[in-house]
């Protein structure tokens, strides 16, 4: 299958710091792939380059054959890329369902005068928005929280709501920044199942950043490892596991807890 997203020689610097260094990356349509790496490796920065938060100094990013680097974030989202955030960034004072409704924004077309006059098209569209928002909340299991303020939801629910909000924009590529951060093993297992289901139900391509090695190994079809902004390895989970450079990158920082172990690989296989 053709890659849906291709990055070539992407470099992003902050002053003297090279956060992403000459990165080549691609992801196949309908795949689930992961980007891993120690803290500060440049994973989130790479996401930010894809979604238009940052403009890379060098390189190109191509989505469905069109170059997107340097486009405005809202433009990129309309093209079909949606994301969630490492530290949850919901619209805190809006209700859960309103968050989802905002997510639909790029798929709606009517203007303010339609809203003032309540043209038939507007009424139809708003009805559709409402129905769809409820559907999404049902799908994600948050219908009971629909009319609650987003920041009053339990932590796990907030993470799922972020996903629902991203889905509302009808993306083709979904970027998840550490979707299981702060979850217990039970919730983590559920989230893994959920991510798979997401891909199948919505015909999505999913790229995630993950710290939990077990999650990464279980779910990913391809793993890209970053260290100091540079890609040091790429491949199938079992290859990454045995890659000495990866082990060193993790062990060298003393991040033993993050070390991919043989057991994890076994249980994953």
Partner 1 sequence: MQATTWRSTIKAGLLTGVIALYVALTGMVLSLSKRPVVDKLSLGHVVYMLVFVVMGYLTARRSSWRTTRPALVPVQGLVVGGIGAALLALLPVFGQQVDLSWIFVTTKPNLYKFLLFNQESMAVGVAYLVLTGAALGGIAALLPILPEVLHQGLLYGAGFTLLLGVLSDLAQRTVLKVVLKPLFAYKGLKPSGALILFVVLSVLFGLRHWWLQRQRERSTMEVILGERPAWARGVQQGLLLGFLLILPVWLLNKDAYLNSVVNLVNLYIIMGLGLNIVVGFAGLLDLGYVAFFAIGAYTVALMTSTGDLGHGYTFWQALPLAVILALVAGVVLGIPVLRMRGDYLAIVTLGFGEIIRILANSDWLKPFMGGALGVLDIPKPALGNLVLKEEYQLYYLILAGIFITWFIATRLYHSRVGRAWQALREDEDVAEAMGIHLVTTKLLAFGFGAAFSGLSGAIFAAKVGSVYPHTFNLIISINVLSLIIVGGIGSLPGVVVGALALVGLPELLREFSEYRMLFYGIALITMMLVKPEGFWPKKLNVYSRPQDDTGPATP
Ligand X SMILES: Nc1ncnc2c1ncn2[C@@H]1O[C@H](COP(=O)(O)OP(=O)(O)OP(=O)(O)O)[C@@H](O)[C@H]1O
What is the Rg, in whole angstroms, of the alpha carbon atoms belonging to the chain? 19
At its nearest, how many Å lie between ligand X and the CB of residue 210?
Answer: 10
Q: What does 51 bind: ligand X, Mg ion, partner 1, none (CB cut-off 5 to 8 Å by kind)?
A: partner 1
Rounded distance, CA 159 to CA 145, Å? Answer: 13
Cβ 179 vs Cβ 226: under 8 Å: no
At its nearest, how many Å lie between ligand X and the CB of residue 211?
Answer: 6
Nearer to partner 1, 53 or 155 (CB): 53
Reported as half-sphere exposure (CB side, CA atoms, 13 A), residue 235 has a value of 9
Q: What does 89 bind: Mg ion, ligand X, partner 1, none (CB cut-off 5 to 8 Å by kind)?
A: partner 1
Rounded distance, CA 113 to CA 225, Å? Answer: 50
The sign of the CA dihedral 70, 74, 76, 78 is: negative
> 257 by DSSP, 3-state: which?
helix
Nearer to partner 1, 113 or 200 (CB): 113
69 forms beta bridges with none
**Binding residue (CB under 5 A) for Mg ion from 11, 62, 78, 86:** 86
Structure tokens at 211: 């710290």
Structure tokens at 155: 């932590």
Binding track over 64-83 against partner 1, x by CB under 8 A:
--------xxx--xx----x
Q: What does 39 bind: partner 1, Mg ion, ligand X, none (CB cut-off 5 to 8 Å by kind)?
A: ligand X
CB within 8 Å of 19: residues ≥ 6 apart: 12, 13, 42, 45, 229
Q: Is 44 in the site for Mg ion (CB under 5 A)?
A: yes
Structure tokens at 175: 């970027």
Stretch that binds partner 1, among 7-15, 21-29, 144-152, 210-218 (CB under 8 A): 144-152
User: How many chain residues bind Mg ion (CB under 5 A)?
Assistant: 2
Nearer to partner 1, 115 or 255 (CB): 115
Instruction: Give the footprint of ligand X on this chain (CB under 6 A).
Output: 14, 17, 19, 37, 39-45, 86
Nearer to Mg ion, 86 or 149 (CB): 86
Alpha helices in 4-91 (DSSP H): 43-51, 73-79
Residues that bind partner 1 (CB under 8 A): 51-53, 72-74, 77-78, 83, 85, 89, 91-95, 97-98, 101-103, 105-108, 110-112, 114-116, 118, 122, 124, 126-128, 130-135, 146-149, 165, 169-170
């Amino acid at each position: 299958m053709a890659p849906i997203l291709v990055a070539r020689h992407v470099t992003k610097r902050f002053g003297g710091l090279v956060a992403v260094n000459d990165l080549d990356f691609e992801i196949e349509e309908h795949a689930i792939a992961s980007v891993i790496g120690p803290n500060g490796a440049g994973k989130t920065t790479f996401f930010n380059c894809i979604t238009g938060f940052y403009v890379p100094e060098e390189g190109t990013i191509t989505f469905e054959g069109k170059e997107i680097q340097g486009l405005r974030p809202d433009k990129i989202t309309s093209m079909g890329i949606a994301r969630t955030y490492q530290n949850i960034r919901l619209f805190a004072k809006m209700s859960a369902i309103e968050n989802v409704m905002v997510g639909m924004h790029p798929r709606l077309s009517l203007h303010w005068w339609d809203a003032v006059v309540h043209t038939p098209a507007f009424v139809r569209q708003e009805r559709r928005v409402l129905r769809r928002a409820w559907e999404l909340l049902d799908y994600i299991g948050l219908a009971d929280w629909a009319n609650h303020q987003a920041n009053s939801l339990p932590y796990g629910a907030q993470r799922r709501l972020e996903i629902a909000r991203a889905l509302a924009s009808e993306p083709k590529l979904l970027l998840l920044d550490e979707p299981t951060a702060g979850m217990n093993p039970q919730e983590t297992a559920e989230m893994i199942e959920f991510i798979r289901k997401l891909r199948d139900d919505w015909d999505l391509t999913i790229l995630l950043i993950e710290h939990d090695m077990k999650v990464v190994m279980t779910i990913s079809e391809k793993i890209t490892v970053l260290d100091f902004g540079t890609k040091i390895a790429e491949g199938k989970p079992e290859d990454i596991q045995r890659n000495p450079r990866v082990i060193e990158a993790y062990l060298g920082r003393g991040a033993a807890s993050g070390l991919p172990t043989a057991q994890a690989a076994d249980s994953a296989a």
